[in-house]
C-alpha cells in the first residue's frame, strides 16, 4: 500500500533497522489455544553489555508491567536487547534474556553477576489464552536467532494477538531522516500496538473509524497499551533522548488515541552514536545542539504515527481461542 505520513524523508526500509546495526526477530505462537509470541530488538551487532548504549524511557500512562526501566532511568544506558511479549509472559521472557546474556558473556570470555534485561508487554488476552504462558526460553532464543534487518510486520511475534482501535494490531515500524550540518541521521520507531477504540480512529485528519464502526459494530474503551521503541544514530544525551521519545505520543494521538485509563503507553529509546564501556575513566561524548531538537521531535512523531498505521494495515484478520475475530484495517481502508 502506498501511504506516507508527514513530510520528512524515510529511510530505505522505512524501519527501525535503517539505523545501522539494529536487527529485529520474531517467534510466533499460533495454534488453536494461543495467538501470541515474542519480538526482540537487537540494538547493535557487537557486545552491548561491554559497550552500552545511551538510553531513556518515558511512561505516559503506567497501566503496564514492563521490566528494566528503573535502571535505564538511573544510569541512562541500555545493556541488553529489548524483548516484547504479552503481559503474563514478562517473567519467563526476562528469565530467558538473563540466560541469553549470561551465555553470550561466557562465549566472549567473561562472566556477569548482574544484568538489566528490558522486557515490555501488552495484554493479548482477547485473542490468546494468556493464562497458559506459551512464550519461554525456546521462543526467545528463536526470535533472537531469526533477527535481521528485514522483518515481518503485523500479526507476528509479540503482535500476533494484539488489538488496535478494535481492529487487528501488532508490530509496526517506520523511520525518518534528519540532517545536521550536512550529516544524515536516522530515527526509527518500532511499535507493539494494542490500544485505542475504533470510533476515534483518524487517518490523515479523516475519522475513518466512525464509518468502520457502523459496519462491524465494534467499539470498546481506549485501553490495552502501546509500546514504542525508538532507535537512532543521532548523538544525544540520555536527557535529550528522553525529550525525543516523549514525542511518540503525538503519533498515537494523531490517529485518535487519547491514552485511556486502562492503557499502558511506554516509550524506550536508545542511541548507537556513543558507546559506554563497562569500565573506564572520563569519556569523550558527542551530542547535538538543542537547536536541532525540533527535527528530532517531528521525526519521532511522524515515524510513530506511520508505524502504528502499518501495524494495522500489515496485520491479517485473526480469530482467537474463544472465537473472537479481529478484522484487518486493510479490509476497510486502502490509503
Determine whether 32 is an active site residue.
no
Determine whether 175 is an active site residue.
no
CB 258 within 8 A of CB 45: no
Residue 71 CA to chain centroid, in angstroms? 19
Determine whether 126 is an active site residue.
no
Exactly one of 126, 175, 257, 263 is catalytic; which is it? 263
| CA–CA distance, 278 with 49 (Å, rounded to integer) | 7
Of all helices (H) and strands (E), which one includes residue 297? helix 293-313
| CA–CA distance, 326 with 309 (Å, rounded to integer) | 16
Query: What is the secondary structure of 202-259 as a DSSP string?
Result: -BTTB-HHHHHHHHH-----S-S-EEEEEEE-S---HHHHHHHHTTHHHHHHHTT---
C-alpha cell at 97: 534474556
Exactly one of 79, 213, 223, 225 is catalytic; which is it? 225
Phi and psi torsions of 329, nearest 5°: -60, -30
Q: In what order do the strands lie in the sheet with 51-62?
A: 77-78, 51-62, 264-277, 226-232, 183-193, 171-180
Exactly one of 79, 223, 265, 302 is catalytic; which is it? 265
DSSP 8-state symbol, 125: T
Cα→Cα distances 66→37, 69, 321, Å: 16, 7, 25
| CA–CA distance, 262 with 243 (Å, rounded to integer) | 24
DSSP 8-state symbol, 282: -
3-class secondary structure, 119: strand
CB 236 within 8 A of CB 273: yes
Active site residues: 225, 263, 265
Amino acid at each position: 500500500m502506498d501511504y506516507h505520513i508527514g513530510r520528512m524523508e524515510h529511510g530505505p526500509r522505512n524501519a527501525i533497522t535503517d539505523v545501522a546495526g539494529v536487527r529485529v526477530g520474531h517467534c510466533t505462537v499460533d495454534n488453536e489455544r494461543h495467538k501470541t509470541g515474542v519480538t526482540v530488538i537487537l540494538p547493535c551487532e557487537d557486545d552491548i553489555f561491554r559497550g552500552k548504549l545511551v538510553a531513556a524511557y518515558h511512561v505516559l500512562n503506567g497501566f503496564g508491567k514492563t521490566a528494566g526501566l528503573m535502571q535505564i532511568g538511573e544510569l541512562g544506558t541500555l545493556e541488553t536487547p529489548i524483548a516484547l511479549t504479552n503481559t503474563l509472559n514478562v517473567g519467563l521472557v526476562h528469565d530467558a534474556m538473563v540466560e541469553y546474556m549470561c551465555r553470550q558473556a561466557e562465549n566472549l570470555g567473561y562472566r556477569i553477576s548482574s544484568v538489566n534485561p528490558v522486557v515490555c508487554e501488552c495484554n493479548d488476552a482477547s485473542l490468546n489464552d494468556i493464562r497458559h504462558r506459551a512464550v519461554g526460553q525456546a521462543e526467545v532464543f528463536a526470535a533472537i536467532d531469526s533477527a535481521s534487518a528485514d522483518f515481518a510486520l503485523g500479526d507476528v511475534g509479540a503482535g500476533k494477538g494484539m488489538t488496535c482501535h478494535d481492529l487487528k494490531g501488532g508490530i509496526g515500524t517506520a523511520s525518518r531522516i534528519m540532517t545536521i550540518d550536512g550529516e544524515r541521521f536516522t530515527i526509527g520507531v518500532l511499535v507493539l500496538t494494542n490500544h485505542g477504540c475504533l470510533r476515534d480512529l483518524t487517518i490523515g485528519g479523516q475519522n475513518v473509524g466512525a464509518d468502520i464502526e457502523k459496519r462491524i459494530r465494534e467499539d470498546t474503551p481506549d485501553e490495552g497499551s502501546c509500546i514504542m521503541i525508538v532507535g537512532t544514530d543521532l548523538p544525544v544525551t540520555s536527557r535529550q533522548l528522553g525529550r525525543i521519545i516523549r514525542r511518540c505520543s503525538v503519533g498515537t494521538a494523531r490517529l485518535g488515541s487519547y491514552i485511556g485509563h486502562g492503557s499502558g503507553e511506554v516509550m524506550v529509546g536508545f542511541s548507537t552514536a556513543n558507546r559506554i564501556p563497562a569500565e573506564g575513566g572520563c569519556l569523550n561524548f558527542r551530542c547535538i545542539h538543542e537547536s536541532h531538537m525540533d527535527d528530532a521531535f517531528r521525526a519521532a512523531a511522524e515515524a510513530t504515527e506511520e508505524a502504528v498505521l502499518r501495524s494495522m494495515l500489515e496485520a491479517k484478520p485473526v480469530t482467537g481461542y474463544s472465537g473472537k475475530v479481529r478484522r484487518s484495517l486493510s479490509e476497510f481502508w486502502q490509503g
